[in-house]
Amino acid sequence: MRPVFEIATIAAILVGGIGAIRWIAARTHGDPVERERRRRLKVGRQGRLVDGFIVDIIDTSVLYSYAVAGVEYQAAQDLSAVRSFLSEPIESLVGPVTIRYLPSNPSNSVILTEEWSGFRTKPPHTLSKGA
């Protein structure tokens, strides 16, 4: 009877181990949209600031360039998931921006997250006094 018990124990351990591996793999790889959201928030919270310039806008993707430690980077960010956080039409945003990047990987950068925006707002139009 002992061999049956040992076989059952080994089988239970294997099934549990396989289940744990699948759970970990699903959790770490998961949904691409969720992975991108987590990346965006991490860069937005932990990233350093640098000046950059929006080069072009194609649909909802913004192409931009910036330099870190003498190395010029060109990157793009799809803004479709965070477009609702923009106060202006996406087409009017070409120009200077502030970019956040991770020091450990300067090519990992963002210009807009759910919590932060590198877009520079235009000053409000004011009437001059005495005019």
- How far is Cα 127 from Cα 111, in angstroms, rounded to an integer? 32
Q: Helix or strand or coil: residue 119?
A: strand
- pLDDT tens-digit readout, 88-115: 777 778 889 999 999 999 999 999 999 9
What pLDDT score was predicted for residue 29? Answer: 66
Query: Could you please report the per-residue DSSP string of 51-98?
Result: EEEEEEEETTEEEEEEEETTEEEEEEEE-TTTGGG-SS-GGGG-SEEE
Q: Helix or strand or coil: residue 121?
A: coil
Q: Are 60 and 78 in contact (CB under 8 A)?
A: yes
The pTM of the whole model exceeds 0.75: no
- How far is Cα 59 from Cα 78, in angstroms, rounded to an integer? 9
What are the pLDDT tens digits along the chain (131 aa)? 567 778 878 878 888 888 877 777 666 667 888 889 999 999 999 999 999 999 999 988 999 999 999 999 999 999 988 888 887 777 778 889 999 999 999 999 999 999 999 988 654 444 455 44
Q: Helix or strand or coil: residue 115?
A: coil
